[in-house]
């Protein structure tokens, strides 16, 4: 099984080739979660993900013969870019097999690092099978995204940096997909600090490692905003390490992850993808498990689709009561809409959208239901707006 000296050797190989990213306390998030939170900003890596670490360590150890053959990897995102970038840096041929559904921006970014991108299959399993076929047919070295000791050792270098900066951490909370990140971190952290607590986090939609370790049969979903940890089957190497060295596994839902993404964007002014927010999502959902502790989180990636991000921000504003939809019932006569909007303005809210509903309503025929989407300061402000409308003689309800 992987040892601390393997991870220390990986750190030496990575020196100068990947960033030693900041690991700092977030005082505001600490206040909100009830524990002292330290954030490791792996979203600042050149390819915006920790995956560079494992890829760099793996490629740096290839023999001259293997380097001449080139490499092949299967990935829909961060692993692809990590392998492509470091292969380009080392002058190696890189072939990346990606599922056909992969967003165009990720395909083009991977090509931008000099890789040959092959779009094949509608699932990750189909893409992986094709990558294996290419490896055999063209003599390429297959670079697995997580089930490889060199990859795991590279990811484990994160723990060395985190404990160097904050040696008295109580707990590390780490996202789990295939398990490469948590396996590497747990190996290094437990060797340095046997008493440190390692907590793994998966989404409720993809609980593969939880099922494997706990013997449960929780159903697998088909999609998640944390696609970076949407893995159907954990690695053999990583599962063995998790079973031995990880203290607890937690599940989070989509809403927790969305809330964490918005918190990090708003408070820390940093952009993370769904997988990168999973650790904070666990603190939000299970605050009692971390109360009063010094907790280290890895913001493991920052590659998120802009349209998805826009939707998450908007939904976050709704959740916080800063974007609200109210219905105002009124007589359908000239001037009433002006009175309604003036009343809302006097209450200090801004109107985003206005919709008149005449046909699909149970109101009397001479009445109209007016839906307003408002920007507000929060839930208390929404109540103040509704009270103003009531005082002005209108019936108003929060939808």
Cα–Cα dist 385/321, whole Å? 12
> Do residue 366 and residue 290 come from a single domain?
no
Whether the CB-CB separation of 351 and 333 falls below 8 Å is answered with: no
> Do residue 67 and residue 204 come from a single domain?
no
> Do residue 22 and residue 103 come from a single domain?
no
> Do residue 44 and residue 189 come from a single domain?
yes
Count of structural domains, the chain: 3
> Do residue 359 and residue 242 come from a single domain?
no
> Do residue 352 and residue 231 come from a single domain?
no
3-class secondary structure, 177: coil
> Do residue 194 and residue 341 come from a single domain?
no
Boundaries of domain holding 124: 52-142
Neighbouring C-beta atoms of residue 390, cutoff 10 Å: 12
Contacts 24+ apart (CB under 8 A), 255-258: 255/319, 256/281, 256/282, 256/284, 256/285, 257/203, 257/224, 257/225, 257/226, 257/281, 258/225, 258/312, 258/315, 258/316, 258/319
Could you tell me the CATH number of the domain that includes residue 386? 3.30.70.260
| Structural domain ending residue among the three candidates 287, 315, 343 | 315
Distances (CA, A) of 9 to 15, 37, 77, 154, 349: 10, 29, 27, 9, 58
Cα–Cα dist 74/132, whole Å? 9
Residue 343: the pLDDT is 93
| Structural domain ending residue among the three candidates 112, 142, 172 | 142
- Percentages helix, strand, coil for the chain, rounded to the nearest 5? 50, 20, 35
pLDDT in tens, the chain (399 residues): 899 999 999 999 999 999 999 999 999 999 999 999 999 999 999 999 999 999 999 999 999 999 999 999 998 789 999 999 999 999 999 999 988 877 777 788 899 998 999 999 887 778 889 999 999 999 999 999 999 999 999 999 999 999 999 999 999 999 999 999 999 999 999 999 999 999 999 999 999 999 999 999 999 887 889 988 888 889 999 999 999 999 999 999 999 999 999 999 999 999 999 999 999 999 999 999 999 999 999 999 998 888 889 999 989 888 888 999 999 988 888 888 899 999 999 999 999 999 887 766 666 667 788 899 999 999 999 999 999 999 999 989 998
> Do residue 93 and residue 42 come from a single domain?
no
User: Which tokens is 30 given?
Assistant: 């600490």
CA 14 to chain centre: 24
Whether the CB-CB separation of 210 and 249 falls below 8 Å is answered with: yes
> Do residue 94 and residue 131 come from a single domain?
yes
Residue 363: the pLDDT is 67
197: β partners = 171
198: β partners = 172
Closest residue by Cα to residue 272 from 243, 312, 299, 253: 299
> Do residue 88 and residue 192 come from a single domain?
no
> Do residue 211 and residue 285 come from a single domain?
yes
Could you tell me the CATH number of the domain that includes residue 108? 3.40.50.1100
Specify burial of residue 65 (Cβ count, 10 A radius: 0-12, 13-18, 19+).
exposed
pTM: 0.89
> Do residue 326 and residue 217 come from a single domain?
no
């Amino acid at each position: 099984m992987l040892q601390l000296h393997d991870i220390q050797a990986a750190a030496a190989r990575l020196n100068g080739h990947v960033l030693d990213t900041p690991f700092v306390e977030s005082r505001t998030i600490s206040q909100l979660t009830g524990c002292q939170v330290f954030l490791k900003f792996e979203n600042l890596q050149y390819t915006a993900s920790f995956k560079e670490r494992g890829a760099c360590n793996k490629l740096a150890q290839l023999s001259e013969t293997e380097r001449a053959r080139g490499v092949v990897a299967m990935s829909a995102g961060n692993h692809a870019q990590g392998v492509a970038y470091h292969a380009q840096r080392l002058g190696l041929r890189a072939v990346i097999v990606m599922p056909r559904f992969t967003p165009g921006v990720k395909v083009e970014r991977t090509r931008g690092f000099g890789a040959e991108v092959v779009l094949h299959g509608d699932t990750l399993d189909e893409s992986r099978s094709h990558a294996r076929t290419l490896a055999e047919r063209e003599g390429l070295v297959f670079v697995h995204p997580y089930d490889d000791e060199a990859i795991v050792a590279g990811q484990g270098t994160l723990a060395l940096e985190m404990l160097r900066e904050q040696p008295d951490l109580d707990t590390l909370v780490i996202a789990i997909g295939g398990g490469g990140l948590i396996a590497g971190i747990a190996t290094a952290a437990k060797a340095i600090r046997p008493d440190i607590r390692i907590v793994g986090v998966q989404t409720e939609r993809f609980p593969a490692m939880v099922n494997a370790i706990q013997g449960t049969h929780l159903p697998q979903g088909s999609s998640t905003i944390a696609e970076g940890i949407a893995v159907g089957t954990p690695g053999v190497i990583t599962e063995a390490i998790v079973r031995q060295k990880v203290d607890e596994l937690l599940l989070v839902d989509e809403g927790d992850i969305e809330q964490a993404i918005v918190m990090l964007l708003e408070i820390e002014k940093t952009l993370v993808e769904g997988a990168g927010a999973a650790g904070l999502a666990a603190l939000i959902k299970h605050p009692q498990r971390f109360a009063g502790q010094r907790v280290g989180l890895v913001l493991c990636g920052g590659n998120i689709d802009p349209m998805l991000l826009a939707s998450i921000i908007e939904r976050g504003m709704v959740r916080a009561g800063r974007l609200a939809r109210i219905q105002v019932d009124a007589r359908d006569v000239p001037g009433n809409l002006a009175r309604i909007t003036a009343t809302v303005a006097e209450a200090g809210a801004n109107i985003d959208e206005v919709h008149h509903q005449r046909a699909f309503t149970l109101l009397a025929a001479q009445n109209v239901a007016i839906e307003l989407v408002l920007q507000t300061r929060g839930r208390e402000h929404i109540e103040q707006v509704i009270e103003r409308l009531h005082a002005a003689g209108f019936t108003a309800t929060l939808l």
